[in-house]
Each structure stands twice: as structure tokens, then as C-alpha cells.
Amino acid sequence: MLPSVRAFAAEQGANPLTVAKAYQQFQADGLIRVQRGVGMFVREGAAERLRASERTQFLEREWPEIRDRMKRLGIDPAEVFDEIDAGS
């Protein structure tokens, strides 16, 4: 169960309208469900759905920009993976 808009806003020091908009977006995205008179609940599978959405956004919007920038800078993807492995 999620805290009420007012309770969460007060706890986080946020504007209640901002929290309400976020909750509405979560509902529109199918991440929460509302039971009138009872409260709001996280839907089963919400984390997986959110992860899949973020993955799609990354692959369709962010990765092409990163790939293009790497090409412009002459960065070989293998170099990036070598850096990642070196940092582990």
C-alpha cells in the first residue's frame, strides 16, 4: 500500500500536487491500482514492467546518442568494456 498523497508529500517535503501527478502517472503506466475508499497499491509485476520500459527507452533514445558520440570521438566499444573490467 502506498502512503496517501498528503502523507507522502509531508514526509518528503514535496508539493502535494507534484506527488498527486506522479501517482496519476504511475496509475496510467499500470504500476499502481486504486481501490476506492481503501488506498493505492503497487501492482504485481510493477518493477519488471518499469525495468522493461526503462530498457526500451535506453535502447531507443539514449543508446543511439551514446553510440553516435562514441563514433565521433573515435571510441571503440571494446575500450569502454576494458575500462569497466579494469574498474571492477
Distance CA 74, CA 85 (A): 20
pLDDT digits (tens, 9 = 90+) for 29-78: 999 999 999 999 999 999 999 999 999 999 999 999 999 999 999 999 89
**Structural domain containing residue 38:** 5-42
Residue 6 is placed in which grid cell?
Answer: 498528503
CA distances from 2 to 12, 48, 56 (A): 14, 18, 26
- 51 & 37 share domain: no
Per-residue confidence (pLDDT) for residue 35, from 0 to 100? 93
Average pLDDT over every residue of 10-33: 96
Distance CA 68, CA 42 (A): 38
Q: How many domains does the chain have?
A: 2
Per-residue confidence (pLDDT) for residue 81, from 0 to 100? 87
- 60 & 82 share domain: yes
Per-residue confidence (pLDDT) for residue 88, from 0 to 100? 63
| 73, 67 Cβ separation under 8 angstroms | no
